[in-house]
Every structure is written in C-alpha cells, then in structure tokens.
C-alpha cells in the first residue's frame, strides 16, 4: 500500500475516463472526474477525486453518530419504544431499519424474546428499604441497587464489575444481558452510562459507533492507517473505486488500493505472489545448484567452474557436471569448461535437472520483468504526487507572478499533473494484468501490449513536458512569449494521453473482447460460404467476402487486410501490420 496524496471530496468538472469495473454487470459507464480546487482556508491546493452521480459518501465520527441517532429516533417513533430499546433492536438487526420493521410487525413477541426487550418485568423490583444483591448476597439500601427491565436487583459494585469485564472482552458487550441465571433481558446503553466507569463508558460508546459501520454491509472503514473516516457505498451502483478524505484511494470490494481496470481476483493473486516464499524458492532453483556432498544450495559468484563448498563440508566439485574436482583438469576442458558436462548433456543425462532449472529461471525472469515495471510506475506515481504538491504550494504562485497570468489561467498545468498521477496508477496495474494474461492467447497479448505501449509512450511524453519543459518557465525571470505555445502543447498532450488510457481501460475491462470479435469477423469474411456478409472489426471497419492478394493478405471490400498474427485491420497499401509490426 502506498501513501497517497492529500485530497478532499469536492465537485469536479473534467473527465478522466469512463467505464465500469469487471465486477459489475451494468452496461452504464461512470465518468470519473479529477479537478484542482482552491481552498481559501489552506495555503496549498488539494488534489480532488470525484465522480458525477457519486456512488458513495465519506462519514466522519460525527456523521456516524448523527445517522445512528436518526435511525434510533425513527425506530422509536414508529414502534413506540424508547431510544435505548431502539438502539438494541438496530444493533441486533445490523442497523437495518427496514429489517427491524419487517421482523417487528411480523411477530413482535418473538422479536422481543430474541432481542431481550421484555414486555413486562420477570420479577417485581422489591419496595423495601433494604435488599439483597443477587451476586454478592450482601444487603444494600434500595438506592444502591439497579435492575434491568427484568427486575433482578444487583448492587452497583457488582454491576460495575460485570459491565467492566464485558467491555474489556470486546464488542460483545453491546449485546449484554442480565447477569441473573437464565435471564435474557438486554442491558441498555442507559445502564452502562449510569453504572460503568468513565474508561469503560468510553470503550462502550466506541464499540457502539464502530458497530454501525462494521455490522452494516453498505459501510466500511477506510483501510488507510490511522484514518477514522468511513465510507457509505451504494452497492451495485458503478465502479468500486473510492477516495477517502484522508487522500487514500481504495477498492470497495477488496479494500486493496484502487486498481481499476484490473479485477480484484487478479490483484489478490499478484499481491500474494509479491509476498509469497515461492519466488524465493524459484530464485534458489534458478540461480544455485546443490552441493553433491551436503546438498546445500550454492550460488556461483565467480567465473571459474571450480567450486568449494562452505565449511564444514569443503567439498570441491565442478559447477557444470557436479563431479569431483580432483578428476578435472586440462584434459576435461580446463577451469572454464567441462567436456564431461557437454558429453553428458548430449547423452541426455542432465536434461531433466537442467530443464527444471531453465524453467525456473525463465519463470523468475518473466516475473521480474513485470514486477520491476509495476514497482517503477508505483515509485513514479509517488514522485508525481510529490511534484504535484510542490506545484500547488510553490510553483503555481511563482509562475503566475512571472508570466503575469492569474492562477485560474494555469489550471491546465494541474490538470496535466492530475492526469499523470492517475495514469501512473492505471499503468502500474496493467503490468499485473499482463503477467496473468495467458501465453497462448497471442492475439490478445499483442493487442494488449500495443495498447499499453501507446498509452505508456503518451504518458512519458506528457510527463517529460510537465516535468522538464515547464521548468524553463518556472526559472524564467520574466514573461515568455513561448508560454502560450507551451500551454497548447501541454493541454494537447494531456488530452491525447487521456484518450490513450480511455482505450486501454475500456479494452481491459472488456477482457480484450475486441480481438475475439474481430478474429471472428475475419474468419467469416474470408469464408466463401458467407458471401455478401458483413461484420464490425477491431476498429469498426466493415468487411465482406475476401479476395486474395498474396499468400498472407486477404483484402476485403473496404480495402483493408487482416493481420494473421493479431487480426488488426490494416490499409491495403501497408505491408507491415500497424499493431504487431509483422511483415506481410
């Protein structure tokens, strides 16, 4: 989990990309907006992440208490019971007002028995001046004893100990019952306030507030360390991505950091792989060999094939054939070769061991390729967030003075940096997507790598412009006549990069289905039995009965030919596929 930028949830106007997460069946696309807002109460400008038709709201502790109070008043009014009893009911039914209504009006007596809200006391509270406590059996004045709705009297000291033990045992204290034998009467919040110590009361109220979030399927705590905000989410309403006021962006479904457009299952596998011991074993298998004598793994860190195991073993052997070094010398190939190994390899003696080692090495290299790029984009995003903060707090004001332009006219710079920050996040997760993309689906992989490459190159151009070329104007001592030209260039790169990532996100969320549909169209278009038929290809071009123009190029009626490697529809004049660069 990475530390994220500071932000507040505000209204926004500028689109980043639209689409929905794989986990939803909705065909509607949400449009995510990212805007830079100026708050008069702060010197710096905050990073904003917000959506049209926002499908979640951020709750502070005060908001949670207000909602709890509102729900308890609503239940108490409709059912004609006290707010304390309403709180017990809501807690029992996981703070679902509708569930309480349904169950109560279906069978009130059953609900009262289950929850512990007795209609009348089980025993009458004695009217005498002195009474005996049911726990310690000491006699106390009447005012020093209390009873729940059941009427069983216990002294204040025993009640305090009973409540303290329950509170220290955890959130189970919220469903506390009368300590009387076989009594199921509920102990309400009013008795806790009257009998518990100050420390126990604070704990109880903290559990009570947290239960509203933790027992409700529509609400969750922000998973960022030290954050006390909660999120109320409209389930099934769109993208799972949520951004808390503390700045942390996470996925509502799995509570990992925001990972759109990659699905939660892929993210879970990737995170597990990054932390699993299996990669350590792969590294050992790929980069070491066992000592022939003691079997401990040994990594060769010098050029010579003469290996000496560490004490106490000290066995000397040949790295290639693992034979005793005393039997080696110039006649076996010298210090840097081994004739025995080459001969044995030709005979197939070492094939199985070498095959396993080679497979492990290839697997490790492939994982390292994707992980390094995943981690690099994560670091680049963190750096971009820091640069954005510096731009907000320092450079925008300086640039406004130097170029004699109001800060409102410099919004395009912040939009560019917001685009960079978000695109780095998306690009980072595309590498985990690529790692789990099946190797045998060559067309999908080539299409994915093409889209990813286009998006990445566009992002690098934008990042270079915002980071390097802008610095010239920041360091300038006066207005520059080239600034307006720079504005046009940066705004254009922002727009182009946004389009690249829109295409990438849309394709990944659709499972690269465009490749399948285009391949099907190509096959149907090349079939003579489908004469006159038409279909829509990868780029929306139409094709019908194909006519041959060389061994590898089938040109359709619209003047395009489909690449046999990636199924991309190319212009008739092209001899190299524009997507996979294969020559035809």
Q: DSSP string spanning 287-316?
A: HEEE-TTT--EEE--SS-SEEEPPTTT--E
Answer yes or no: are the C-beta atoms of 55 and 42 closer than 8 Å: no
Cα separation, 300 vs 297, in Å, equals 10
Say how many Å lie between the first and final Cα of the chain, rounded. Answer: 46
Q: What are the residue ranges of helices labelled H in 391-512?
A: 396-403, 411-436, 442-464, 470-475, 483-509
**Phi, psi for residue 537 in degrees, rounded to 5:** -95, -165
Of 514, 515, 508, which is closest to residue 433 (Cα–Cα)?
Answer: 508
Instruction: Give the residue ranges of DSSP H helices in 48-188.
Output: 61-79, 83-92, 97-106, 108-115, 156-168
Q: How far apart are CA 179 and CA 187, in angstroms?
A: 9
* Percent helix / strand / coil, the chain, rounded to 5: 50, 15, 40
Per-residue HEC secondary structure of 231-277 comes to EEECCCCCCCEEECCCCCEEECCCCCECCCCCCHHHHHHHHHHHHCC
Are 328 and 318 within 8 A, CB to CB? yes
Rounded CA gap, 200 and 189, in Å? 12
Q: Which helix (H) or strand (E) holds 143?
A: none
Of the candidates 574, 557, 556, 553, the one whose C-alpha atom is nearest the C-alpha of residue 565 is: 553
Q: What three-state secondary structure class fits 122?
A: coil
151: its two tokens: 């009427």
Distance CA 23, CA 35 (A): 27
What is the C-alpha separation between 390 and 383, in angstroms, rounded? 11
- Which residue is catalytic, options 158, 222, 304, 566? 304
Whether 318 sits among the annotated catalytic residues: the reply is no
Q: Which residues of 310-335 are buried (b: 16+ CB within 10 A; e: fewer)?
A: eeeeebebbbbbbbebeebeeebbee
- How are strands ordered across the β-sheet holding 560-562? 547-548, 554-555, 560-562, 569-571
Find residue 289's DSSP bridge partners: 298
Q: Helix crossing, 411-436 with 483-509: angle to 10°?
A: 30
Residues 6+ apart with CB under 8 A from 312: none
Question: What residues have CB less than 8 Å from 6, skipping those under 6 apart?
Answer: 44, 46, 47, 247, 389
Alpha-carbon gap, residue 99 to 550, rounded angstroms: 70
Per DSSP, what are the bridge partners of residue 543?
535
Check if the beta carbon of residue 425 is closer than 8 Å to that of residue 1: no
DSSP assignment of 529-554: GGTT--EE-TTS-EE-S-EE-SSS-E
**Catalytic positions:** 304
């Amino acid at each position: 989990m990475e530390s994220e930028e500071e932000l507040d949830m505000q209204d926004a106007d500028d689109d980043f990309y639209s689409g929905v997460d794989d986990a939803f069946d909705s065909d509607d696309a949400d449009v995510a907006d990212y805007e830079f807002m100026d708050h008069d109460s702060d010197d710096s400008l905050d990073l904003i992440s917000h959506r049209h038709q926002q499908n979640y709201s951020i709750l502070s502790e005060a908001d949670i208490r207000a909602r709890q109070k509102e729900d308890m008043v609503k239940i108490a009014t409709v059912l004609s019971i006290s707010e304390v009893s309403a709180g017990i009911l809501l807690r029992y039914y996981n703070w679902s007002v509708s569930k309480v209504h349904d169950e109560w009006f279906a069978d009130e007596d059953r609900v009262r028995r289950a929850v512990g809200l007795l209609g009348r006391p089980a025993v009458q509270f004695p009217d005498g001046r002195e009474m005996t406590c049911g726990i310690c059996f000491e006699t106390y004045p009447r005012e020093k004893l209390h009873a729940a709705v059941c009427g069983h009297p216990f002294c204040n000291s025993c009640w305090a100990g009973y409540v303290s033990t329950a509170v220290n045992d955890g959130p189970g204290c919220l469903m506390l019952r009368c300590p009387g034998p076989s009594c199921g009467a509920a102990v309400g919040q009013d008795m806790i306030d009257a009998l518990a110590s100050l420390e126990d009361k604070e704990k109880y109220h903290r559990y009570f507030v947290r239960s509203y979030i933790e027992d409700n399927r529509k609400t969750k705590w922000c998973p960022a360390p030290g954050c006390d905000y909660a999120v109320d989410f409209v389930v099934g309403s769109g993208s799972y991505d949520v951004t808390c006021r503390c700045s942390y962006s996470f996925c509502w479904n799995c509570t990992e950091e925001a990972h759109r457009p990659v699905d939660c299952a892929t993210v879970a596998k990737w995170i597990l792989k990054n932390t699993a011991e299996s990669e350590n074993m792969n590294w050992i298998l790929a980069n070491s060999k066992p000592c022939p004598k003691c079997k401990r793994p040994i990594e060769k860190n010098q050029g010579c094939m003469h290996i000496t195991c560490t004490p106490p073993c000290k066995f000397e052997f040949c790295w290639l054939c693992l034979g005793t070094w005393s039997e080696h010398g110039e006649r076996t190939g010298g210090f840097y070769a081994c004739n025995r190994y080459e001969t044995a390899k030709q005979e197939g003696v070492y094939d199985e061991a070498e095959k396993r080692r080679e497979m492990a090495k290839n697997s490790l290299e492939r994982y390292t390729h994707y992980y390094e790029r995943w981690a690099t984009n994560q670091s680049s995003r963190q750096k971009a967030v820091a640069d954005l903060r510096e731009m907000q707090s320092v450079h925008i004001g300086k640039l406004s003075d130097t170029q004699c332009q109001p800060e409102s006219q410099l919004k395009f710079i912040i939009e560019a940096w917001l685009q960079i920050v978000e695109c780095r996040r998306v690009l980072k997760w595309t590498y985990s997507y690529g790692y789990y993309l099946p190797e045998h689906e060559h067309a999908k992989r080539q299409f994915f790598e093409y889209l990813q490459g286009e998006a990445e190159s566009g992002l690098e151009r934008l990042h270079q412009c915002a980071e390097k070329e802008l610095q010239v104007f920041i360091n300038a001592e006066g207005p520059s006549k080239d600034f307006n030209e720079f504005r046009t260039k940066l705004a254009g790169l922002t727009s182009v990069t946004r389009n690249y990532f829109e295409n990438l996100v849309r394709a990944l969320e659709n499972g690269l289905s465009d490749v399948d549909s285009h391949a099907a169209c190509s096959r149907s278009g090349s079939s003579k039995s489908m004469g006159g038929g038409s279909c829509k290809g990868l780029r929306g071009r139409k094709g019908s009965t194909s006519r041959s123009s060389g061994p590898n190029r089938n040109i359709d009626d619209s003047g395009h030919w489909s690449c046999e490697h990636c199924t991309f529809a190319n212009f008739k004049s092209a001899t190299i596929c524009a997507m996979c660069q294969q020559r035809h």
